[in-house]
């Protein structure tokens, strides 16, 4: 069985030590960042060499390509896409056009990543932003401020992404929209009661619990588990994500290098898997970090393997036609909200 981990490499391309390490430990998948996306040819070659390491043609390779400020593939090598909030703005004017635009945008995001060999894009984000929340972590990354609109636009985006040849990941369960600080830098504590969380924060995840992959939040929900962030909490994962939300797909952590988490790399990996996560997402790890992660990691469980297999079945072989007309159509749909 594959190792219950997702890794990246430190430089634009694999070095010999990383290549040997990946061949030895056989991680379930990989993730790429801007340094791997200098051009179509470079990214495609990098994806090929990652898959060669593990000997799996469809080994998952992830990216965060949301549009707006969260985009690893950047101009001029790749086309720019709007932030998710643009579709929420369009929804206020014309819900039908907004759904069409979100689906088309999802398709085009699927195309630009899958054309290069990336087969998982970590969208859509289903967090419901609250007025006093930290804008640096959510802000215009959210589709809208109301959960029902978020679901409509996110569902359209996910459907489009699959049509474009990539798989979606819903994030950040059970909801990051109330965080008062950025979990990249600090640990957010959410103090609201369980009823409010259930009515608002969980709602988009419940509505889209059929999506095959999801990601946790590095957030403490004091009404649920005052001691541990969701990523490390068996209570949140089993009772809320698996239980109340009803998510049955492959559950990965958010980036375990983020400063919201305390403890060393080994314990972060071990504790997240022990809590019930299927996969540890190990981003921007040095080689020493990767070796430490291995001490805390384990082979994927039988249940996780089955969830992963169900997810990958969703990958489509698509007709890779030219996308120029689709981009023109998207620009036309978004014209009322984007100059």
Q: How far apart are CA 90 and CA 112, in angstroms?
A: 23
Residue with tokens 């007709």: 319
Q: Is the alpha carbon torsion for 217, 38, 115, 151 positive or negative?
A: positive
Look up residue 20 and give its two tokens.
């040997």
Torsion sign over Cα 307, 310, 314, 316: positive
Q: Which of 146, 184, 186, 239 is catalytic?
A: 184
46 part of the active site: no
3-state helix, strand and coil shares in percent for the chain, rounded to the nearest 5: 45, 10, 45
Strand 65-67 relative to strand 70-71: parallel, antiparallel, unpaired?
antiparallel
Total residues found in the chain within this entry: 339
Name residue 167's beta-bridge partners: 120
Active-site residue among 134, 201, 225, 254? 254
Q: Is 160 exposed, middle or buried (0-12, 13-18, 19+ CB in 10 A)?
A: buried
DSSP string, 82-109: --THHHHHHHHH-HHHHHHHHHHHHHHH
Residue in 132, 123, 139, 219 with CA at minimum distance from that of residue 176: 219
Q: Does the annotation count 218 as an active-site position? A: no
- What is the token pair recorded at 260? 């919201």
Catalytic residues: 184, 254
């Amino acid at each position: 069985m594959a190792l219950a981990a997702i890794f990246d490499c430190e430089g634009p391309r694999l070095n010999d030590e990383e290549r040997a390490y990946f061949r030895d430990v056989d991680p379930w998948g990989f993730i790429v960042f801007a340094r791997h996306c200098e051009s179509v040819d470079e990214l495609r070659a990098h994806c090929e060499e990652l898959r060669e390491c593990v000997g799996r043609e469809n080994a998952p390779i992830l990216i965060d390509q949301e549009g707006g400020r969260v985009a690893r593939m950047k101009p001029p090598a790749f086309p720019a896409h709007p932030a998710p909030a643009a579709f929420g703005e369009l929804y206020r004017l014309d819900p039908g056009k907004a759904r069409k635009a979100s689906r088309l945008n999802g398709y085009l995001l699927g195309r630009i990543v899958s054309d290069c060999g990336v087969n998982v894009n970590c969208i859509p984000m289903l967090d419901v932003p609250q007025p006093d929340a930290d804008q640096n972590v959510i802000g215009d990354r959210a589709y809208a401020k109301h959960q029902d609109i978020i679901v409509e636009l996110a569902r359209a985006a996910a459907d489009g992404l699959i049509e474009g040849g990539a798989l979606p990941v819903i994030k950040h369960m059970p909801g990051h929209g109330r965080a008062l600080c950025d979990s990249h830098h600090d640990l957010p504590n959410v103090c609201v009661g369980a009823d409010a969380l259930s009515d608002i924060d969980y709602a988009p995840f419940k509505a889209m619990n059929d999506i095959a992959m999801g990601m946790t939040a590095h957030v403490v929900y004091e009404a649920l588990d005052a001691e541990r962030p969701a990523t490390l909490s068996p209570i949140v994962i089993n009772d809320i994500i698996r239980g109340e939300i009803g998510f049955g797909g492959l559950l990965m952590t958010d980036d375990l290098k983020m400063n919201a988490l305390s403890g060393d790399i080994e314990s972060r990996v071990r504790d997240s898997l022990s809590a019930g996560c299927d996969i540890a997402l190990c981003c921007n790890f040095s080689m020493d970090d990767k070796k430490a992660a291995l001490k805390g990691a384990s082979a994927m469980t039988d249940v996780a393997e089955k969830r992963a297999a169900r997810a990958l079945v969703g990958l489509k072989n698509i007709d890779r036609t030219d996308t120029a007309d689709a981009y023109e159509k998207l620009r036309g749909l978004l014209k009322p909200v984007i100059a």
